[in-house]
């Protein structure tokens, strides 16, 4: 399929590059490093070959979210967003951008988002899970009341918020102790991100701002497989026994406020499950380059046994509509 749009596609700046090194053997890292720093050379050629017309680029992980000093986090976010705007400026028909946000300081994050959307023409924000504040063992999740004004800005600007994975805090890693392979994309990324998304639902955020759209990668970070059961127990007959603030069953918010992408999860039965659960209007193609290979994503997606209309919707149309693109 030609004309695909992809939206979990990463780059890095010198200040954040090292965050991705841990996931690769040294010889592979040399290649990934080069690919993270490139936007318009190898990446663009491979997009042409893969039938990806347009990619929305975002910073690598955890990057800004793991900078404990809020001032420095805001500085590096500004550098990343400015660099990205400059790098894609000659190819407005091929690249869009997600803002990196210093959510250690909700006001600074709201300001940066506003600037990126209104001045730099960005498509939304991509945030790598919770933010460390002041030290490596503090996690700020965005379900907290102090983030309500930030979400007000997201709602007002009416742009999607991509909740991208990061690893859990060291102190939360007991279950994976001595099994380091469970960290990162193999398992922990999804659990951490899924929990954060459920926290947003339970906080009642989507009752206050019903137009907020959260995007989850990796075909739903495990939530889609369990949402009925989560909803069944967390929303027990509206009795609210567990401090849930959300007014409706969890599954309603999942269906109305979430989009899922295929990033790094190239499995047809999982995509079909996503289509069945959330609807083919809310599933979007993505690759997760350069952490995954665009060619593998595309070969899988283009040949996956789903309806032709679904290929069009998931490969292009849904993103076109969600981001109000004019390419």
Binding site for ligand GRE (CB under 6 A): 10, 20, 23, 60-61, 165, 184-185, 264, 288, 291
CB closer to Zn ion, 110 vs 163: 163
CB closer to ligand GRE, 206 vs 289: 289
Q: Which does 184 bind (CB under 5 to 8 A by kind): ligand GRE, Zn ion, none?
A: ligand GRE
Of the candidates 149, 288, 302, 310, the residue annotated as catalytic is 288
Q: Would you list the DSSP string of 273-292?
A: HHHHHH-GGGEE----TTTS
CB closer to ligand GRE, 9 vs 112: 9
CB closer to Zn ion, 131 vs 230: 131
Q: Which does 23 bind (CB under 5 to 8 A by kind): ligand GRE, Zn ion, none?
A: ligand GRE
Give the SS3 label for residue 267: coil
Q: What is the DSSP letter of 145?
A: G
Q: Which does 185 bind (CB under 5 to 8 A by kind): Zn ion, ligand GRE, none?
A: ligand GRE
* Contacts to Zn ion from residues 282-311, by CB under 5 A: 288
HSE of 163, CA atoms in CB hemisphere, 13 A: 32
Q: How far is the CB of 111 from ligand GRE (least distance, A)?
A: 26
Q: How far is the CB of 239 from Zn ion (least distance, A)?
A: 38
Q: How far is the CB of 58 from ligand GRE (least distance, A)?
A: 9
Q: Which does 106 bind (CB under 5 to 8 A by kind): ligand GRE, Zn ion, none?
A: none
Residue 145 annotated in active site: no
Q: Would you list the DSSP string of 158-176?
A: T--EEE---PPPGGG-GGG
Q: Would you list the DSSP string of 74-97?
A: HHHHHHHHHHHHHHHTT-TTTEEE
In degrees rounded to 5, what are phi and psi of residue 211? Answer: -90, 0
Strands (E) in the chain, as ranges, are 4-11, 52-59, 95-99, 124-127, 131-132, 139-140, 161-163, 214-216, 258-261, 283-284
Q: Catalytic residues, which ones?
A: 288
């Amino acid at each position: 399929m030609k004309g695909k749009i992809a939206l979990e596609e990463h780059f890095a700046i010198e200040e954040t590059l090292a965050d991705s090194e841990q996931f690769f053997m040294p010889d592979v890292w040399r290649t990934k490093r080069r690919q993270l720093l490139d936007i318009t050379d190898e990446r663009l050629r491979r997009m042409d070959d893969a039938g990806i017309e347009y990619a929305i680029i975002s910073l690598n992980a955890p990057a800004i979210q793991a900078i404990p000093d809020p001032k420095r986090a805001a500085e590096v976010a500004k550098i990343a967003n400015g660099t990205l705007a400059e790098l894609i400026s000659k190819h407005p028909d091929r690249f869009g951008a997600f803002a990196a946000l210093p959510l250690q300081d909700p006001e600074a994050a709201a300001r940066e988002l506003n600037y990126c959307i209104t001045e730099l023409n960005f498509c939304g924000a991509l945030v790598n899970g919770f933010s460390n504040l002041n030290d490596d063992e503090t996690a700020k999740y965005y379900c907290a009341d102090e983030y309500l004004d930030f979400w007000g800005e997201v709602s007002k600007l009416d742009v999607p918020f991509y909740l991208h994975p990061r690893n859990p805090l060291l102190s939360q890693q007991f279950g994976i102790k001595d099994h380091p392979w469970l960290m990162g994309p193999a398992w922990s990324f999804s659990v951490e991100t899924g929990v954060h998304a459920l926290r947003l639902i339970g906080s009642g955020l989507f009752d206050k701002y019903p137009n907020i759209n959260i995007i989850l990668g990796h075909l739903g970070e495990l939530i889609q497989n369990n949402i009925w059961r989560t909803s069944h127990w967390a929303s027990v007959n509206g009795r609210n026994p567990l401090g849930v603030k959300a007014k409706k069953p969890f599954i309603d918010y999942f269906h109305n406020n979430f989009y899922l992408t295929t990033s790094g999860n190239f499995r047809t039965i999982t995509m079909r499950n996503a289509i069945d659960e959330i609807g083919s209007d809310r599933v979007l193609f993505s690759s997760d380059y350069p952490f995954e290979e665009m060619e593998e994503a595309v070969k899988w997606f283009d040949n996956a046994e789903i309806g032709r209309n679904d290929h069009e919707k998931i490969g292009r149309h849904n993103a076109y509509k969600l981001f109000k693109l004019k390419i």
